[in-house]
Structures are given as structure tokens and as C-alpha cells.
Amino acid sequence: MVLGRLTHYAFDAVLISAFLAGVKRSTGLTPSVNSEKISESKELKKWVDNYLGMGEWVMDQSVAVLGASGWFERRR
């Protein structure tokens, strides 16, 4: 029960990170981690950078897999 809930929260966190990566790619907007609004802690800033980097990686992998499948086509 606890493992299932933890897995669900982890999956949600990855989806949110990937969503933020998509916003960054589409608009150039990104959370400001250098601001004192978040924290003075360098460790927290590093953790946030790693979290957002994970979203970028998930986004890259998703685009690669979907681009290689026959179910999606690129329209511009």
C-alpha cells in the first residue's frame, strides 16, 4: 500500500517536471532557482536543478520514442 502510494507520487513528480520542461521549450519560461524567494540553501537549489533536468531528460526521451513510432507525425 505504501509502496504504491510512493510510486504514484514519484510518477506525478516526473509528470510535473516534464510539464515544466515543455513550458520551457515552448515559451522560454523557467522557474527562477537563483532567486532568494526559493531559499539561500545551495543544496536545495542543486536539488531543484536536478529535478528540472530530469524533466528535460524525460521530455527528450518521450520525443525520441514518439518520433520513431508510426502513430505520430511531425507537422509544422
Domain count, the chain: 1
Q: Identify the H or E element spanning 67.
A: helix 42-68
Whether residue 35 lies inside any domain: the answer is: yes
More confident residue, 76 or 47: 47
Residues 6+ apart with CB under 8 A from 67: 74
Whether residue 33 lies inside any domain: the answer is: yes
User: Could you list the residue range(s) of the whole structural domain that residue 42 is in?
Assistant: 2-68
Task: Round the CA-based radius of gyration of the chain to a whole number and report it.
Answer: 15
pLDDT tens sequence across 47-56 = 888 999 999 9
Whether residue 73 lies inside any domain: the answer is: no
Whether residue 46 lies inside any domain: the answer is: yes
Q: Identify the H or E element spanning 61.
A: helix 42-68
Instruction: Give the global pTM.
Output: 0.77
pLDDT tens sequence across 15-48 = 999 999 999 999 989 877 666 666 677 888 888 8
Whether residue 76 lies inside any domain: the answer is: no
Whether residue 56 lies inside any domain: the answer is: yes
